Structure 1
């Protein structure tokens, strides 16, 4: 594989991890927002139909967090392995630097 192809693959894998990391944060915030909405509806004694709909939305949000986390972990492992494998070939590229920075940032999440 040429150096240009290695850099291209590194960039693609980095963007995948970045997108999934952002997605995970979004779903966590959505879960918190929906939980607050359900709690508020309970306090106010909202109608049963509205409560069921809100709880359904909350359950869907809750289900998305572990699914997205699993996809992020898989993409993270793929990027980490790719960086280790090809570090010598692209040692001075901006893409490698960006990938390493993202790996460090995502480690805290996983």
Structure 2
């Protein structure tokens, strides 16, 4: 979401420049963009940590009944389909 917000914010800034908006307002929008950009690495780090935590939890699971559950199967499919870049 922060990546999408950053793209939207960049477009908003460019539109403001083209419309000749006040420099102060444009500067503030650059600050908003900077805040979004700072959040991206943090969110990426937390997503990767959560991914690996869930993967390790599921890999350590030995209960056949739990492993056969719909929820665990869905979680494994999602993990396989969404391997984060390292």
TM tier relative to shorter chain? 0.7 to 0.9
Q: TM-score, with normalisation over the residues of structure 1?
A: 0.69
Give the C-alpha shift of residue 85 in structure 1.
0.6
| Larger RCO of the pair (alpha carbons < 8 Å, separation 6+) | 1
Match status 1:94 vs 2:73: no
Q: How many residues align?
A: 83
**Which residue does the alignment assign to 2:52?**
77
Q: How many Å separate the matches in 2 of 1:78 and 1:34? A: 33
Larger deviation, residues 75-84 vs 35-44: 35-44
Q: TM-score, with normalisation over the residues of structure 2?
A: 0.86
| Structure with greater Cα Rg | 2
Counterpart of 2:71 in 1: which secondary structure? helix
**Which residue does the alignment assign to 2:20?**
45
Out of 66, 82, 85, which is 1:106 matched to? Answer: 82
- The Cα RMSD (Å) is 1.3
Counterpart of 1:61 in 2: which secondary structure? helix
What residue ranges of structure 1 are gaps of 5+ in the alignment? 1-25
Q: How many Å separate the matches in 2 of 1:58 and 1:79? A: 32
Deviation >4 Å, runs of 4+: none
Q: How many Å separate the matches in 1 of 2:47 and 2:67? A: 25
